[in-house]
Structure 1
């Protein structure tokens, strides 16, 4: 498919005070300057006040950008879901690519994903690498996340866990809005949105290629557990059951397995994540 036949798309990139200026620089450049198929605009959402280093870096990136950048400042930190909702409304194009401020897009990412959107898909993700970076900036690749690729497998997987790697997705604003957009439960907003999009009949697929490098911090496994996340998990499962997305037996399985996963020791959680969660689940 010729580049001229592909739809223009917006890059939606939120940033908040906890982000690193150096990481934002790499995320931006990898998703704009280094892409074989760059976005036609960037919507950079500043979620609340940020430090001087981020203010300076944002100004620099806007100045050197090869595509228009729309900075959307939010006076107070409202959280990722609300920031994405606000940013999505500012995107000029119906096709929107997500990017986080601490990850890295590989050069072929949009050249692979946008043609899939042009073929009629409304939600497209991909595989991704996990990586760590030491103080010297040396990267170490870790596990890979390999999502289901076909719509049927995606729908089946979604009954147990998120079939999309959120930092990799490209979607149409029309399909997101039609499904109700981002919303609670906190920390599970992306999964619940994708489940509702699937239930609404959105055409979905994942590229089997690893198109994003996902930064894993030292506290990543700790954040996947705890009482706060357990509360969000139980709320999510209740909502999935309420809208008829899961059966009663699937709800019970999810509460026991996914809920239990939030409460086990961190070392055990890490082992289970590496051996089971990264491989996906098809039941």
Structure 2
């Protein structure tokens, strides 16, 4: 198990027909098994919830965010601790984390009707019912309005904060911005859904939820699962550097979230919730 987010390897590089041998940096990808401990103090039990391929680092926040966005916990007080397991095989050291739920928290593993297995490219595939995801999300009701210039400047701030991406080019990022466009937190991971869970877990640990006075920017596309996780966290606006999916747009509309895609310094697309953006243009086409 590697404890770093970056690894090194030797590559053969082709540049304009010339081949050279050189070292190269890679984003680390390793499995993380998430377990929960639950039950009364004299009768604690353990349930294995998920295995996700992630970049090591912020594992406790990842686990907390995962439990929150899956509806297993609703606040940080329901968690006693989130620690790596020590009594595991040598190759599992640092790659297994157990979240201890409060004895009074009513967790019933029988309600888990689907397989939680996820991987770095797609987290929603294990869900057996999309309807069950919709039911977890509350309608987002807030008077928040964000200046257009704050949204357009967000990608540059996010990129500047991506420490590992700067060296490897291989990580997704999720950033939390306040209503004045200041970057509050940034989390990176090989999996876009893991980066989001790390960010939500950070917000949960800092008592910032719901995120009705914040907006989130993701470095890739806006998938259905990312919008679902953002809606669970109550974020008023989510922006993506890439494209949203049709399901993501539908969910954003259903939950009252403002959704922005193809965000660049010189423009963006608004897919829902235009009323939360203070547009600089005098005239715009209402759709």
Normalized per residue, the structure richer in strand is: 2
Normalized per residue, the structure richer in helix is: 1
User: Normalising to structure 1: TM-score of the pair?
Assistant: 0.29
Bigger Rg over Cα: 2
**Larger relative contact order, structure 1 or 2 (CA cutoff 8 Å, min sep 6):** 1
